[in-house]
Amino acid sequence: MLAESVRYLNCAGQAPRLRSVHAAGEAALLRSARPWQVSMQDWLAQPERVRASAAGLLGVSADCLALQTTVAYGMRLATAILPLSRAQTALVLADEHPSGTAAWLAACQRRDAQLVPVRRGPGQDWSGAVLAAIDSRCAVLVLPVCHWHDGSQLDLVRIAARARQVGAALVIDATQAWGVLPINVAALDPDLLIAAGHKWLLGAPGLAFTYVAPRHYAAEPLEQYAFARESGESLPAVDAQPLRYRGGARRFDSAGIYNSLCLAMAEPALHQLAQWDAEALRIQLAGWQSALRSALHAKGLGHCWRRADSPHISALDVQGSAAQMAARLRAEGFVVAARGTVLRVSPHVHSSPEEAEALAAALSRLI
């Protein structure tokens, strides 16, 4: 669905739409205007297909996944089911995306706890900074797989082991990883792991996937919608009887998500990701980043390159206003993102090595 005049390098912000995904959205919109053509059985089957496809990519059981509207919703759920008491701390990365951190700031304010933004010291990576910040007061760590500004990865296996030693919960924002980077849920054993579906999972905004560890299945959902309960729409005949919720993480689905067009659009997106070889995808994206680095060096702009830990996200230091440079590049047909003090560059399979060379040439003219 890309225009020929656009060089789109912002998949970390919003994936360019696959034709199959767009067609599925159009078909779903048409179906929604003809509700008499959709049976209850069909209506309930679609979310289960999407749940199973997403779970397959992550390597977990479909029972472990909740279908939700946003990462912010998943984080709000995490604050509701994880303990956080007065004088305890919740650790986040400095300058992380507010969808992953704002709910925890609010929770700390409600509970008289402290939100601690972890910052890197000179010569320190994110993993070292996080490990140094974990102490006996830490109740929860809220961390990404890689930082959304520049793709800097965290050693979550080491961090998860340290969190377990002090009894801290682990919540992972996998939005910038799921769909490209390998995620070993068994090794990490997170309490929750959440990802938006419209970036590297190639779907549309309005759908997020939340892994919930089985130890939290007894928690109460945020919303008492009909299909959170075993009995569907009906309530217990006697007020004193407890509500019986569906098994697994399904009780944590967002109310109304089954009506979302995003479910229909997620199906072909997840199918496409399953068809691609994940390692080959990483190699292709890393090759593109390498081509950009070489082109920058050839233009005398090697100093702009930031060390990239991830194959799909890198950052450029343009030694000025990143936002102004992003706007100037957009005027020349390049779509990148200003994040903090850097330009974030995030290609996908539609990106050619020639685009990397063209971006370096444009930067050479503009810097």
pLDDT band for position 330 (cuts 50, 70, 90)? very high
CATH number at residue 333: 3.90.1150.10
Q: Is residue 11 part of a domain?
A: no
Are residue 187 and residue 84 in the same domain, yes or no?
yes
pLDDT band for position 20 (cuts 50, 70, 90)? very high
pLDDT band for position 11 (cuts 50, 70, 90)? very high
Q: What is the mean pLDDT of residues 29-55?
A: 91
Q: Is residue 12 part of a domain?
A: no
Are residue 284 and residue 256 in the same domain, yes or no?
no
pLDDT at 44 over 90: no
Q: Is residue 2 part of a domain?
A: no
Are residue 266 and residue 340 in the same domain, yes or no?
no
Cα–Cα distance, 212 to 45 (Å, whole number): 21
pLDDT at 312 over 60: yes
At residue 322, the 3 state secondary structure works out as helix
Final residue of a domain: which of 219, 250, 275? 275
pLDDT at 364 over 60: yes
Are residue 236 and residue 362 in the same domain, yes or no?
no
What pLDDT shows up at residue 237?
Answer: 57
What pLDDT shows up at residue 1?
Answer: 60
CA distances from 82 to 20, 187, 224, 306 (A): 39, 20, 19, 36
CATH number at residue 44: 3.40.640.10
Q: Is residue 188 part of a domain?
A: yes
Final residue of a domain: which of 244, 275, 306? 275
Are residue 205 and residue 249 in the same domain, yes or no?
yes
Q: Is residue 257 part of a domain?
A: yes
Final residue of a domain: which of 232, 252, 275? 275
Are residue 187 and residue 334 in the same domain, yes or no?
no
Closest CA to 359 of 339, 319, 330: 330
Are residue 269 and residue 346 in the same domain, yes or no?
no
Give residue-wise pLDDT tens across range 286-309: 999 999 999 999 999 999 998 778
Closest CA to 252 of 48, 74, 52: 74
pLDDT band for position 285 (cuts 50, 70, 90)? very high
What pLDDT shows up at residue 273?
Answer: 97
pLDDT at 265 over 90: yes
Q: What is the mean pLDDT of residues 321-350?
A: 95
The amino acid at residue 30 is: L
Give residue-wise pLDDT tens across range 115-173: 999 999 888 999 999 999 999 999 999 999 999 999 999 999 999 999 999 999 999 99
Please list the residues that pair with 88 across neighbouring strands: none
Instruction: Name the percent of the chain lying above pLDDT 70.
Output: 96
Cα–Cα distance, 298 to 67 (Å, whole number): 46
Are residue 86 and residue 132 in the same domain, yes or no?
yes
pLDDT at 232 over 90: no
Q: Is residue 321 part of a domain?
A: yes
Q: Is residue 14 part of a domain?
A: no
Cα–Cα distance, 154 to 144 (Å, whole number): 8
Are residue 33 and residue 143 in the same domain, yes or no?
yes
The amino acid at residue 3 is: A
What pLDDT shows up at residue 259?
Answer: 87
Q: What is the mean pLDDT of residues 214-220?
A: 95
Domains in the chain: how many in total? Answer: 2
Mean pLDDT of the chain: 93
Count other C-beta atoms under 10 Å from residue 219's C-beta. Answer: 16
Are residue 263 and residue 328 in the same domain, yes or no?
no
Are residue 225 and residue 82 in the same domain, yes or no?
yes
Instruction: Name the percent of the chain lying above pLDDT 90.
Output: 83
What pLDDT shows up at residue 41?
Answer: 87
Q: What is the mean pLDDT of residues 327-352?
A: 95
Q: Is residue 199 part of a domain?
A: yes
Are residue 207 and residue 299 in the same domain, yes or no?
no
Phi-psi region of 44 (alpha: psi -120 to 50; beta: other; left: phi over 0): alpha
What pLDDT shows up at residue 238?
Answer: 58
Which residues, including other chains, have CB under 8 Å from residue 362's CB and lie 6 or more apart? Answer: 329, 332, 334
Give residue-wise pLDDT tens across range 72-124: 999 999 999 999 999 999 999 999 999 999 999 999 999 999 999 999 988 89
Give residue-wise pLDDT tens across range 119-130: 998 889 999 999
Cα–Cα distance, 281 to 175 (Å, whole number): 17
Q: Is the distance from CB of 90 to CB of 79 less than 8 angstroms?
A: no
Q: What is the mean pLDDT of residues 186-204?
A: 97
pLDDT at 13 over 60: yes
Domain that holds residue 338: 277-366
